[in-house]
Structure 1
Amino acid sequence: MKKITPNVYAETGFRGANCTFVTTSEGIVMIESPQMPDEAVKWRDEIAKFGMVRYLINTEPHGDHFSGNYFFQGTVVGHEGTRAAILAANVDQFKERMKTMSPASLSLLGGFSFRAPTITLSERLTLYVGKHTFQLIHLPGHSPYQVAVYIPEEKVVCTSDNIVYNTQPFLHQAQPLEWLESLKRYQEFDADFFVPGHGDVCDKSYIPEMSKQIQSWVDVTKEAKKQGLTLEQAQANTALLEKYGIKVPPDPRAQGVIKMSLAHLYEVMGR
């Protein structure tokens, strides 16, 4: 756990999304919950040393950001689209995944269920907790329902997976052109610290690199279509991907992420 400011703490070492909490004069505000139940319980115990959880904010509709909600108190807050995704999530499938991903967590799943937001936003929402302000702003990109959480008193932004630091972005539900526009808006925040969805805490100097990565995916998709490549041909064309700086690692799972991302872009970017 890293203490970013006097009141903001972040954990970037979980097997899943980064998690943050803020101490206020009226309790704790969390951003994200750990995906793995055993890590969620440890995080809950750590946070309890600082106070009671008042709110738990989910910044996006993916399980690595919300699966641990069950283990925490507090009102869950998120985008309307994130609420819909959580309500549609399958508990049995999650338990099955934990058998291989986190066997140590199985004993914690007896009464497990997914907790969806009961306070939602479509574009903007502001929470006032003690002397702190939490501005939730809809910034589509990694998915249509991404939310940035800006805490002006701390000059901290929790970015969701719209920013991932030194790691491959996942574009399986992305809106790539909107993503590029959203990254421009992140530049406007008066913030010293950006807590990305994955990777180390950074600052706005990393945004051009993030934009470059997303633009590379847009460009490689455009060129593949211009060449008349089928999706399967494009997915197998390592030279084309690497021409645009998209490295294809030997790990089959990482290769699968690249294939899924390209398949989605082929669909949403048209012919």
Structure 2
Amino acid sequence: MALQQVSEHVHVEIANLGSNNSIIVGARGLALVDTPHRPTDAIAWRQVADGFGQTRYVVNTDHHPDHTIGNYWMGGEVVSHRGTRERLTVDAPTDQYLADLMARIDPDALPLMAQYQVRRPEVVFDSKLELHLDDVHLELTFQPGHTSNSLIAYLPQDGVVFTGDIVCEAGLPSFQDSRLWNWFDAIDAVAAYDFQVLIPGHGEVADRAVLEQYRSQGREVVGDVAAAIKAGHSQEQACDEIRFPDNIHVDTEDYVGYPDDLIEMFQRRSISRIYEDLLERPDLASR
């Protein structure tokens, strides 16, 4: 692991496959933001967190497996938007999906999966929630963007904002659970915060400059889809022709990434989502 301290109270791990994982250290315990994707990383992360104190809260910024699988091995109460609990109740990854995925990304964890159960949030909210650790508090705000149940977490004492996959320094994530208007609105919502440090869903710890970089990446793929629609290409054609760089799910020097068929599925579903949203709202092509 490559744990880095980014402010007085915040420590972040960005080196694992899956979401960035953060520890907020308060006088009355810890709040964690998102949990590791690979079970072996989650077990190691629990040991790291325990070294700072007792975990009181685990915040999930959305329901996707790379943010929530590690819940099972963490202490404290899991907290999320109500929609995240609902998605993990009705649409959690199947046992077969997880077995096949772990066989590739974390084969040492296969024996652990026999006991694994989806751990759904125990505390949910609809609009806003504050979590207090005595000397610091974490403000959670519902903000649909990357998913319909995404949230932004904000630590005002340190000027740190945790965006989940609403903003990713590493590049664009899947659009499959997004609506395009929410995607752009969520970036604007992050920009309204008073922060010095931005913890993205994936990639390096960043500052305010990452917002325009990320917005530009989104505009580029949206522009490609808009051009395909203007040229009379069908949705299926657009899904065949258009791709954007995936720097999140692919192999790196540090870990094995997702299989090619899953990455291809994410791409096709993303282009399909953008295509359908542009048919509904053509003005988004110039957002």
TM-score in same-fold range (> 0.5): yes
- What is aligned with 1:148? 152
Among 195, 207, 212, the alignment partner of 1:208 is: 212
Q: Confirm whether residue 108 of structure 1 aligns to residue 133 of structure 2.
A: no
- Note the aligned Cα RMSD (angstroms): 1.9
Runs of 4+ aligned residues of structure 1 deviating over 6 Å after TM superposition are: none
Query: What's the secondary structure of 1:186's corresponding residue?
Result: helix
Aligned to 1:134: 138
1:218-229 residue pairs with structure 2 within 5 A? 218-229=222-233
TM-score between the two structures when normalised by the length of structure 2: 0.86
- Report the more deviating stretch, 49-58 or 92-101: 92-101
Q: Could you tell me which amino acid in structure 2 is paired with residue 13 of structure 1?
A: A
Greater mean deviation of Cα atoms: 95-104 or 21-30 = 95-104
* SS of residue matched to 1:5: coil
Report the 3-state secondary structure (helix = DSSP H, G, I; strand = E; otherwise coil) of the residue aligned with 2:115. Answer: coil
Deviation of 1:155 after TM superposition, in Å, equals: 0.9
2:86 alignment partner in structure 1:
84
Contact 1:91 1:112 in 2 (8 A): no
Gap runs ≥5 in structure 1? none
**Structure-2 residue corresponding to 1:54:** 56
| Amino acid of the structure 2 residue aligned with 1:78 | S
8 Å contact from structure 1 (residues 57, 77) kept in 2? yes
Partner of 2:127: 123
Displacement after TM superposition at 1:161 (Å)? 0.4
- Share of identical aligned residues, percent? 27
Q: Check if 1:31 corresponds to 2:40.
A: no
Distance 1:86 1:248 in 2: 25
- The size of the alignment, in residue pairs, is 264
Structure 1 residues 156-193: Cα deviation after superposition (integer angstroms, max 9, x where no partner) = 11101011113233111111112111211211111111
CA offset digits 1:225-246 (Å, max 9, x no partner): 22211122223335xx6xxxx4
Gaps of 5+ in 2: 251-259, 281-287
Separation in structure 2 between the aligned mates of residue 237 and residue 176 of structure 1, nearest angstrom: 20
What is the match of residue 10 of structure 2?
8
